[in-house]
Amino acid sequence: MNHLLSIEDLDREAIERIVGQAERFAEVSDREIKKVPALRGRMVLNLFYEASTRTRSSFELAAKRLSADVVNFAASGSSVEKGESLKDTVLTLSAHKPDAIVIRTPWAGSAELVSRWCSAAIVNAGDGKHEHPTQALLDVYTLRRRLGALDGASIWIVGDVAHSRVARSNILAFQKMGARVTVAGPPTLIPRGIEALGCEVRYTLRELPSADVVYALRMQRERMTEAWVPSLREYVAWYQINGRRLSPRQVLMHPGPVNRGVELSGEVVDSPQAVITAQVEAGVVVRMAVLYELLSGSPVPTPAPEPQLA
């Protein structure tokens, strides 16, 4: 594997390999010194065009636990604000010879584009509303730990599917792992043609009790001002996952950050069914596994020769 651009590019075997490696790395996190020398001397560059604390710090932590050097490049306050194009920024940063670039942008396909412009391994940390593959991998990891296997499981993804890269990556990843996926939400936030990805579509939560896993998506407040739904109140009434709708045997997931009282009620966030903090924990080990998968195969850099004293 040279890059991680989308879940679409992965088969079940590749997903299992990464998740399996993550399980081995999980043991590292429990040590007193949470660090292995696997990627010593490698450089990982985080290139983020969107505000992101969680994903970025999760990648940073993952790289550091593998002993790689990390450089963070945020688009705000940089040359990007001075009008530099994505290509020029990538070419400029490539001059530092990073081994991997972790990139997030608001534009679909940008990770794939960047992979054509430089020789570094590219990790897609979110490209517009297209994909967020490491999120899907950490969700598979979390569910495997909880359920054992995903085969035959019914997973409902609930909420704003139209604007969610998490939804797209997870629909693909869960299905590749043998689960059946249903997306549910207000018709204005379910894109036309989404069935082509193989999922079922529902506009109410009437059949939610049949789900083994309920995956709630973040409902962004700007969707209200854009009038995608009549009101927050009506959204909550029809689509909020709360104690009344969630049955005790169901597992509850959310990509974070949670809007308490909107897509999830407070009591379900705090319930033992919720694996939301386990997802965050999984983020680090899964991203370690991804970086390891991409970088450990490439030739180890030879150390610079010691300067000779005359």
Partner 1 sequence: MAASPLVHGPHVAADMLLSDVHVLDPRAGIDARHDVRVHSGEVAELAPPGTLDREEGEEAVDGRGRRLLPAFFDPHVHLRTPGQEHKEDLETGTRAAAAGGFGAVIAMPNTAPVIDSAPLLRSLRDAAAREARVPVGFLPAITRGLEGKELSEMAELREHGALGFTDDGRPVVDAGVLRKALRYQRLCGGVLALHEEDPSLSHGGTMHEGPVSAALGIGGIPSVSESTMVARDATLAGYEQGRVHFQHLSCIDSVEAVAAAKARGVRVSAEVTPHHLLLTEEDVRTLDTRMKMNPPLATAEDRAALVEGLRSGTIDCVASDHAPHARDEKEVPFEQAPMGTTGLETAFAVLYTELVLPGVLTLELLVERMTAGAALYELPTPRIAVGEPANLTLIDLDAEWTPGEHGWESRSENCCFAGRLLRGRVLLTVAAGAVAYRERAFSVVAA
Rounded CA gap, 25 and 17, in Å? 12
Give the position of tokens 């985080």: 46
Give the tokens for residue 240: 């909020």
Q: Which two tokens stand for residue 20?
A: 């399996």
Q: Are 103 and 75 in contact (CB under 8 A)?
A: no
Which amino acid, residue 110?
A: S
- Smallest distance from partner 1 to CB 160, Å: 12
**What is the smallest separation between the CB atom of 30 and partner 1, expressed in angstroms?**
37
Q: What residue has token string 């399996």?
A: 20
Q: Which is nearer to partner 1, 83 or 299 (CB)?
A: 83
- Rounded-to-integer distance, Cα 300 and Cα 310, Å: 29
CB of 8 to partner 1, least distance (A): 8
Instruction: Compute the distance between CA of residue 245 and CA of residue 10 in angstroms, rounded to an integer.
Output: 34
Distance between CA atoms of 51 and 244, rounded to whole angstroms? 34
CB closer to partner 1, 59 vs 228:
228
CB closer to partner 1, 116 vs 249: 116
103/207 Cα distance (integer angstroms): 38
Q: How many CB atoms lie within 10 A of CB 267?
A: 13
Decide whether 106 or 178 has the Cβ nearer to partner 1: 106
Sign of CA dihedral 141, 144, 146, 150: positive
- In the bound state with partner 1, the residue whose beta carbon lies nearer, of 83 and 305, is 83
215 or 292: whose CB is closer to partner 1? 215
In the complex with partner 1, the residue whose CB is nearer, 106 or 261, is 106
Q: How near is the Cβ of 137 to partner 1 at its closest, in Å?
A: 18
The distance of closest approach from Cβ of residue 149 to partner 1 in the complex, given in angstroms and rounded to an integer, is: 26
Rounded to 5 degrees, φ, ψ at 74 are: -100, 140
* Min separation Cβ 152 and partner 1, Å: 24
Interacting residues with partner 1 (CB under 8 A): 85-87, 105-110, 112-113, 127-131, 164-165, 168, 191-197
Nearest-approach distance from CB 197 to partner 1, in angstroms = 6
Contact 94, 118 (CB under 8 A): yes
